[in-house]
Amino acid sequence: MSRVVVTGRIPEAALAALRAEHEVDDWQEPGSIPRAELLRRVAGADAVVSLLTEKIDAELLDAAGSQLRVVANVAVGYDNIDVAACAQRSVTATNTPGVLTDATADIALSLILMSTRRLGEGERTIRSGRPWKWGMFFLLGSSLQGKTLGIVGMGGIGQATARRAKAFGMEIVYQSRSELDPAVAAELGARRVELDELLSVSDVVSLHCPYGPATHHLIGAEQLESMKPSAHLVNTARGPVVDEAALASALRAGTIAGAGLDVFEHEPEVHPGLLELENVTLVPHLGSATVETRTAMAVLAADNALAVLSGQEPPSPIR
């Protein structure tokens, strides 16, 4: 029987699968596990099931010891994991792609609608008790029909977002490292362009690219300046893809019309300049936050850990 450390609270279905075969040491407190406690607990672990709030780096891998075989991340993004350090120690790293595609695409479309239709402003107006009444020009937003959605990162979530936007009558352009399958491109009516062109022609830009050195501050002051003054930016990828200080300045100056953010550069902190603005919708990393999706993510992470511990190929290794 192997020892599995779970770094945070996960759905019972995943814990039950792990406990059926192995000894499980799981952190049950509502907050994140303190770093010192995590380093103590991983000592001697054969597997670590990690949440994105925990950094899996050389320090932690060394604290675990040479018997560690797998780190199973309960997330599709894995910028919290030093994959190279895992590989150097023959530790398999896995993630949970696919199972959160629809939930995250739903949030992306929700943010598109909230930003373009100024729904957050409307909700805050009522809750604040400020007087209001219907008027021809009261809180006018913009429609999506006939507008262009620019998708940065056309993986599964980007494609799912495109399908939703197409149903709203939007045209699709995308920037990605690889060309879409011709059948998918035809289905979506999607045209591949370079980032500069995407930013200049899009009425809404939605970010779905992975985070890494190449995408750090991919959207900064220069890129925001190249967008339409009427355009909106949505980020459901990772916070540091956007320079938040530059975004706050652009929103304040009217360089772009609005933004919707589900992720933040220094999460859970939010740039104070954004908190002061009405033309930005802010939600606390809810992209995968449905009961069904979070359960599927945790179960897939458990399946990844169980597969490696039994000497099999995991369902979703990080390549």
Work out whether strand 70-73 and strand 92-94 pair parallel, antiparallel, or are unpaired: parallel
pLDDT, position 54: 97
Write out pLDDT tens, residues 49-85: 999 999 999 999 999 999 999 999 999 999 999 999 9
pLDDT, position 125: 96
Interacting residues of 305 by C-beta distance below 8 A, sequence separation 6+: 4, 18, 47, 49, 70, 72, 94, 314
Residue range 292-313: average pLDDT?
98
What pTM was estimated for this model as a whole? 0.92
pLDDT, position 145: 98
Whole-angstrom CA distances from 194 to 177, 197, 209, 273 are: 10, 6, 14, 30
154 and 274 co-located in one domain: yes
Reported as a pLDDT band with limits 50, 70 and 90, residue 128 is: very high
Amino acid at 150: G
- Given a contact cutoff of 8 angstroms between Cβ atoms, the answer to whether 257 and 141 are in contact is no
Reported as a pLDDT band with limits 50, 70 and 90, residue 258 is: very high
Measure the CA–CA gap between 9 and 28, rounded to whole angstroms: 5
The token pair at 176 is: 């990605």
Domain annotation covers residue 268: yes
pLDDT, position 137: 97
Residue range 201-206: average pLDDT?
98
- Residue 192: beta bridge partners? 174
* Options 41, 238, 271, 294, the catalytic residue: 238
Reported as a pLDDT band with limits 50, 70 and 90, residue 191 is: very high
Domain annotation covers residue 316: no
Active site residue 127: no
For residues 180, 292, 315, 164, the Cα torsion angle rounded to the nearest 10 degrees is 0
Sign of CA dihedral 304, 308, 311, 317: positive
* Options 21, 121, 197, 267, the catalytic residue: 267
pLDDT, position 282: 98
Domain annotation covers residue 208: yes
Amino acid at 98: G
The share of the chain scoring above pLDDT 90, in percent, equals 99
Measure the CA–CA gap between 97 and 297, rounded to whole angstroms: 8
Look over the chain and give the mean of its residue pLDDT values, rounded to a whole number. 97
Residue range 214-232: average pLDDT?
98
Whole-angstrom CA distances from 211 to 91, 158, 260 are: 21, 14, 18
153 and 51 co-located in one domain: no
* Options 41, 232, 285, 294, the catalytic residue: 285
Active site residue 208: no
The token pair at 156 is: 């599964």
130 and 238 co-located in one domain: yes
pLDDT, position 62: 98
Collapsing DSSP states into helix, strand and coil, what is residue 280? strand
Inter-helix orientation angle 291-309/101-116, to 10°: 150
The share of the chain scoring above pLDDT 70, in percent, equals 100
270 and 123 co-located in one domain: yes
Active site residue 285: yes
Domain annotation covers residue 178: yes
147 and 74 co-located in one domain: no
pLDDT, position 39: 98
130 and 86 co-located in one domain: no
Phi and psi torsions of 292, nearest 5°: -65, -45
Measure the CA–CA gap between 274 and 252, rounded to whole angstroms: 9
Collapsing DSSP states into helix, strand and coil, what is residue 87? helix
What domain range includes position 21?
Answer: 3-98+291-309
Domain annotation covers residue 157: yes
| CATH (domain of 33) | 3.40.50.720
